[in-house]
Amino acid sequence: MIKISSNQLDEGLFLSSSVSDCRSFIDCLFGKVPTHDSEKDKCKLFQFRKAFESDSPVLYKRFKELADYDEIIYIFNTIERMDGSRKKRNARIKFQDLDIFAQVSIIALYPLYLANGMTVPFLRLEEINKIEKKFLTFSNKKVKKEIKKFKLIDREWFNWIFSVSTNFNDYEKFGDAIILIIYLFVMGIKERSLPCLQTMDNEEKKAFFENIEEAINKRG
């Protein structure tokens, strides 16, 4: 099992802080991938997003759903062109939550990604559904205890995540969403931890290395 180093935690904090002033960082994390943009390829956030989507497309889709990106952006862009200060205010509040969710997600997931060899754990839809079903039976306190069992990180990592998460306007929605995506990511790492090759027969070893080769080819 992996363990996040203090340097990896610092990299997550620095990346979240450095992209917060970028007007397009939310779109880079959740929006349509530009096909021709050499500057984007130099951005660590954009590299993380591409790896996330390539390594684990179903998990990335769930991440985007939890952010509620498509609906929030659509409503925000529509309302901004209309009159009605109340509707604009509500749309901006939701956009603010999306902005915070994106930043907290970077602090939470980027260090895990680095510690896992710059790889996002691959999860199938049925695996995600199974983990979420288990998650729904837990309280937030129980989930935190479950994550801590893996000894991936120290208390400082949790403190950063949950101190920033208190800034959500709709904490019930986005606070739970942050905890869920962390839980899915961590459980994915646990499920994909390398098996002991000595205990595998030849067929199991063959299938294991074929899966690794397939994953590498997908990354290009």
For 125-149, the pLDDT digits (tens) are 999 999 999 888 877 677 777 766 6
> Given a cut of 60, is residue 199 above it in pLDDT?
no
For 8-67, the pLDDT digits (tens) are 889 999 999 888 888 788 998 998 766 555 666 678 998 999 999 999 999 999 999 999
How many whole angstroms separate alpha carbon 49 and alpha carbon 63? Answer: 11
Q: How confident is the model at residue 73 (pLDDT cuts 50, 70, 90)?
A: very high
> Given a cut of 60, is residue 7 above it in pLDDT?
yes
The two three-digit tokens of residue 174, written as one number: 């986005």
Range 96-121 average pLDDT: 92
Percent of the chain with pLDDT over 90: 34
**CB 1, CB 38: distance < 8 Å:** no
**DSSP string across 154-215:** -HHHHHHHHHHHTT-SSHHHHHHHHHHHHHHHHHHHHHTSPP-GGG--HHHHHHHHHHHHHH
Per the confidence metrics, is the pTM higher than 0.85? no
In three-state secondary structure terms, 6 is helix
For 143-188, the pLDDT digits (tens) are 777 766 655 555 677 777 777 777 888 988 998 899 889 889 988 9
pLDDT for residue 66? 96
End-to-end Cα, the chain, rounded Å: 26
152: Cβ contacts below 8 Å, ≥ 6 apart: 1, 2, 3, 4, 112, 115, 186, 189
How many whole angstroms separate alpha carbon 193 and alpha carbon 210? Answer: 16
Enter the DSSP assignment of 33.
Answer: P
Could you give the maximum distance between any two Cα atoms of the chain, in Å?
Answer: 68
